[in-house]
């Protein structure tokens, strides 16, 4: 895989460089609530612009249905990119139409443009190779060189991720090169003890990675909504807590395999419960109760790991040489149920080992809860991509960057 460093050494002055970024930021109307993904691509965009390239930045945002939708416009992201760069960023109001063509043609050396949301064109996400290829052909006409730097999208077989690199000289940007280097530390020659903390809502989202980790990790700490399916699989009463009943057989098999393989699979010993799910917008105070994990009342719902579990998980992370964390421990968006996620984040900071926050909601939680991002070894920009890499899958966007 060639990297941007090789491209820069070859010279990019005057060349149109297409940067497939991940600007899929959360929006409240037109206000960006977390600009982490924009900041993550800055090193690549700035390096290219400083070297005299004419930089064309492209990304998706949200899930529009193959047609323009103002709610998913990249205009706020383009404006924020300009603020972070300290220079004007041109914005094309379409992807491969008249505006995109004119905007790119109007770039001078060292200038940057953002084209509109790639998913406004049905060809971006089409499962039909010909339709995807036709869209990739039109994107290729906008550039001379391709730089892949949208790690959060590399697990998607989309036109701008998979098909476009085949049509242009292609390189990995700084972000993708960093992400791949970090993930290799979690899969090849791992320093031990290797501890993985998994949370989030659905156990089904994590089954494949748990399957892989049962042969690689020394400890698995389970939290979040997915923990209640594990507790139910052990025969515990979980009340109204989130449950994926169809996953119980798989979870039981994993519990047995963990014991057989000598992998310490750690479940909550207590939990914060409430009779009503909290209002995440109003964030009005609630009155959670702490109960043992095997004694959740029938009319209550588990919403965060309890204080004893926080201490337990911190102790299990204290001697780790390598840590991977993906998924919050509770409903961290509400202050009454954020302490479990805070405790795990702080335990990563306190750990002497190499710590990786696996993107998605975990990365959002780190920023939302006010932690210093520099205190972690690495914060990934792609939760789904990170998990699929750890599952051992071939990621289309990475395969497309290989020579």
Active site residues: 37, 202, 360, 384
Token pair in block for residue 141: 């006409």
For 35, phi then psi, to 5°, come to: -95, 20
How far separated are the first and last CA of the chain, in Å rounded?
6
CA–CA distance, 54 with 108 (Å, rounded to integer): 6
Alpha helices, H only, 168-306: 174-185, 207-213, 227-233, 248-261
Question: What residues are paired with 219 via a beta bridge?
Answer: 195, 264
Q: Within 10 Å of residue 248's Cβ, how many Cβ atoms?
A: 16
SS3 content of the chain, % helix, strand, coil (to 5): 40, 15, 40
Q: What 8-state DSSP symbol labels residue 145?
A: E
Q: Is 329 helix (H, G, I), strand (E, B) or coil?
A: coil
The answer to whether the CB of 154 falls within 8 A of the CB of 395 is: yes
Nearest to 139 by CA among 154, 109, 119, 153: 119
CA–CA separation, 202 and 242 (whole Å): 8
């Amino acid at each position: 895989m060639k990297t941007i460093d090789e491209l820069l050494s070859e010279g990019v002055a005057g060349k149109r460089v297409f940067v497939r970024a991940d600007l899929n930021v959360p929006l409240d109307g037109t206000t960006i609530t977390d600009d982490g993904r924009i900041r993550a691509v800055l090193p690549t965009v700035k390096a290219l612009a400083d070297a005299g390239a004419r930089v064309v930045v492209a990304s998706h945002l949200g899930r529009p249905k193959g047609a323009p939708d103002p709610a998913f416009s990249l205009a706020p992201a383009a404006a924020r990119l300009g603020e972070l760069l300290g220079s004007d960023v041109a914005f094309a109001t379409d992807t491969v139409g008249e505006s995109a063509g004119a905007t790119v043609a109007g770039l001078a050396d060292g200038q940057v443009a953002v084209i509109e949301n790639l998913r406004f064109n049905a060809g971006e996400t089409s499962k039909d190779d010909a339709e995807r290829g036709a869209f990739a052909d039109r994107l290729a006409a906008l550039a001379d060189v391709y730089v892949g730097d949208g790690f959060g999208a590399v697990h998607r077989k989309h036109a701008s991720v998979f098909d476009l690199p085949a049509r242009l000289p292609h390189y990995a940007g700084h972000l993708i090169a960093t992400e791949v280097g970090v993930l290799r530390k979690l899969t090849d020659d791992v320093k031990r003890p290797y501890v993985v903390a998994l949370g989030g809502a659905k156990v089904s989202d994590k089954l494949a990675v748990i399957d892989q980790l049962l042969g690689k990790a020394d400890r698995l700490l389970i939290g979040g909504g997915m923990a209640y399916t594990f507790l139910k699989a052990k025969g515990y009463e979980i009340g109204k807590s989130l449950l994926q009943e169809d996953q119980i057989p798989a979870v039981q098999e994993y519990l047995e395999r963990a014991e057989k393989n000598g992998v310490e699979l750690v479940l909550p010993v207590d939990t914060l419960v409430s009779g009503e799910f909290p209002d995440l917008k109003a964030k009005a105070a609630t009155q959670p109760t702490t109960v043992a994990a095997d004694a959740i009342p029938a009319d209550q719902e588990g919403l965060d790991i309890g204080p004893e579990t926080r201490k337990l998980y911190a102790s299990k992370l204290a001697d780790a040489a390598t840590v991977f964390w993906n998924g919050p421990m509770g409903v961290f968006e509400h202050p009454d149920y954020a302490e479990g996620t805070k405790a795990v984040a702080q335990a990563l900071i306190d750990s002497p080992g190499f710590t990786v926050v696996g993107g998605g909601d975990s990365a959002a939680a780190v920023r939302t809860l006010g932690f210093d991002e520099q205190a972690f070894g690495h914060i990934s920009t792609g939760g789904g991509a990170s998990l699929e890499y750890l599952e051992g899958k071939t990621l289309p966007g990475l395969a497309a960057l290989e020579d």
